[in-house]
Amino acid sequence: MTLFACDSLAPRTRRLLAALLVGSIAPTLSASALAAGGSKAEIERGRYVVKLGGCNDCHTAGYAPSGGKVPESAWLMGDSLGFQGDWGTTYPSNLRIYMARLPVDQWVLRAHKMVSRPPMPWFTLHDMTDADLRAVHAFVRSLGPVGSPAPDYLPPGQKANGPVVVYPPAPPASSAPPAAAAPVAASPPIKR
Ligand code: HEC
C-alpha cells in the first residue's frame, strides 16, 4: 500500500521538480546562451572585424548608401534588396538569426569551407582566423536574434518581387588581362 502511494507520487514529484527547475534555470540559460563565449574584448574584436570585413554593406539595409549611419541595433538583419545575375537572385541573410541558430564551433567549421552564391565574398571567410570567426559570432549574438529571415533565393529566370541590383554577365575566365596602366610619374621626394 505504502509502496503504491510512493509509486503514484513519484511522477508527480518529478513533474513538480522539473517545473521548478525549468522555472528557475531557463531564464539564466537563455541569457547566458546569448552571451555565449562573449567576453567584452571578444565582442569588441567581433565588432571591428564585422566593420572592416564589410559585412554591413550587404547584410544591413541602407548601410552603404547612408555612409554607415545605421545604428548598431539595426545591423546585420539581412536585406530585401536582391542581387541579380546569372546565378539568379540572392538576398543577404539575416545574420542575427543565423548566428543564434548556429553553435560557435559549427560556425567556425562552416566558415572555413562555405561556398555560397554571389556576391557573398565567402572566400574571405576562409581566410579568417578561428579567433576572428569566434569573435564575429560572439558580436553578432550579442546583438540578439532580431528581425525576419531574408527572402528566399530565386533561381535564374524567376522574377523578383522587390528591388534588385543587376549584375552584368561575368567575363569569360580566359579573357585577357587588362592592358597595363601607364607608369605613374616618379613622385618628388618627400620634404621632411
Ligand atoms: C557584397 C555583398 C555581401 C557582403 C559584403 C557580405 N555578404 Fe554575406 N551574403 C551575401 C548574400 C547575397 C548572401 C546570400 C547568398 C546565397 O543566397 O547563396 C550572403 C550569405 C551569407 C551567409 C550565409 C551563407 C550560408 O549559406 O550559410 C553568411 C554566414 C554570411 N553571408 C556572412 C557574411 C559575413 C560574416 C560578411 C562579412 C565578413 C559578409 N557576409 C559579407 C552578401 C554579402
- Condensed to tens digits (0 to 9), the pLDDT of residues 121-137 reads 999 999 999 999 999 99
C-alpha–C-alpha distance, residues 17 and 21, integer Å: 6
pLDDT mean over 89-100: 98
pLDDT at residue 175 in the model = 66
Any atom of ligand 1 within 6 Å of the Cβ of 72:
no
| Residue bearing the bigger pLDDT, 9 or 109 | 109
Confidence of residue 174 (pLDDT cuts 50, 70, 90): confident
pLDDT digits (tens, 9 = 90+) for 144-159: 999 999 999 999 999 9
Amino acid at 160: A
Amino acid at 66: S
Any atom of ligand 1 within 6 Å of the Cβ of 53:
yes
